[in-house]
Structure 1
């Protein structure tokens, strides 16, 4: 039994390597842009944004598919789609065709994001689930680091070679094929009533929280390079190096998440939100690149210490049959928050800013993260007290 669980963990972590595949080519966007000089910078950036948009409906569709088909078959199909959408642009010269394949890649990433977490929720519980979810975050960071840095070196050789980084998915496909059991979902058909996924008020609360949190998270992704340029702290390459520190912070915290969750229990998510406050305060006041890198480390730690708890609590807020769909909805909220962030934060920053709009964006992010910290701290304290009373009813 223990050996079987160990294999499942390896399969889950294999999927995790691909979960940030959308930004695998981020370090090479300028190189790709040089190949298409007639296109604007915004159009080149669509190579990433179009994948994010496609992930949104994909997560909902996958949630429905998991009610009928085995998660193993779904994720294997998703990984194959990932490989096709990721590698095919290496053989293309039409930007439109490349953009279409990037949309296909988004489908594969969306499948991996939902199914990896759903398997973890289904197969593990308690402190073991905390550890699995934490290590899953670390595997995401490892996959991100491998693809971004390898992609940069490949692009230096030739612009289209960067797309070969998506071949990392072959390793994930092998791990899933060998390690993940082919278990079909169980449906309650004894009553003759078709079973449907049902969300509780707690489920909707986590969906809203994830949406707001990732509006905040996206501030870092879309604004850091502009802040570094505006403050004249470094070049675009220096801004790209922040990915290394972001990934390092996330990797370390992912490994430590189980211990953090054991100590803080239901207050763990509030600790992550607090780290986000620290990250944004450091970055907004940065006077040199090192401060930006320190802020990036805290940002990676914030992601790795908030996401596991959100997914775990979402899965626990519904019955087993509904868990997959609930996780799909939360993942959808995550990607929608990322997509809509610039349309909310940038106008707000411009309206209230008396100086730098970019710095104001990070200040807004710090304030919003502080509010989320307080909300989750109060929720966590209440939840911890409730659990303590259940365990010790005579106290």
Structure 2
């Protein structure tokens, strides 16, 4: 739900800001996918290095990317922002699945991952309504304010997750660890 406003409003941001054309929006948005591909390529090594903090790294990357997108005044900043968001999201999703695999019994993993994906898609469905609600409550633009809001939520979530993982016992960081 937090990512969709960036994806849905990119064309509007580019056109209203006189930053480019619809083709520019396509290039910028494709960088989200490229970022996800980069994250997929490095996830294994990143997880070995960061282990219980991989999710934190992903959330901080998304927050950074959302900041770039929110404050961007050029196509290059938008490209950098969407790439960071793609990398962050490409770290978050496998991290979620890793955590799910650690806490769900093997027989229940399929159902648990299906529920996660269902809620992810539900977030995409409710995103336009959420953007309108945020705009109405805040009195801000429904174009950039949800991106700013996402930046704040991801940043706070990353901080809270990091702090809770600092206090987590080692046995919850990897399957089979004691």
**TM-score calculated relative to the size of structure 1:** 0.42
Tell me: higher relative CO, structure 1 or 2? Use CA pairs within 8 A at least 6 residues apart: 2
Q: Which has the larger radius of gyration?
A: 1
How far off is 1:292 after superposition?
Answer: 0.5
- Residue 274 of structure 1 aligns with which residue? 60
Equivalent residue in structure 2 for 1:352, among 138, 141, 145? 138
Counterparts of 1:271 and 1:327 in 2: how far apart (Å)? Answer: 22
Deviations 1:224-254 (A, max 9, x none): 1111122121111110111332222111121
Partner of 1:365: 150
SS of the equivalent of 1:287 reads: coil
Shift, 1:349, TM fit: 2.3
Of 117, 123, 126, the residue aligned with 1:340 is 126
Distance apart, 1:314 and its partner CA: 1.3
| Unaligned segments of structure 1, at least 5 residues | 1-214
Q: Which residue of 2 aligns with 1:290?
A: 76
| CA distance in structure 1 between the aligned counterparts of 2:169 and 2:12, rounded to whole angstroms | 41
The answer on whether the counterparts of 2:2 and 2:146 sit within 8 Å (CA) in structure 1 is: no
Moved over 2 A (4+): 378-388
Distance of 2:12 and 2:89 partners within structure 1? 21
Q: Which runs of 5+ in 2 are unaligned?
A: none
| Separation in structure 2 between the aligned mates of residue 311 and residue 241 of structure 1, nearest angstrom | 29
| 2:41 corresponds to 1:255 | yes
Q: Distance in 2 between matches of 1:278 and 1:221?
A: 16
Distance 1:280 1:264, change over 3 A: same
Q: Distance in 1 between matches of 2:34 and 2:135?
A: 30
Q: Deviations over 1:193-252 (max 9, x none)?
A: xxxxxxxxxxxxxxxxxxxxxx11212221211111221211111101113322221111
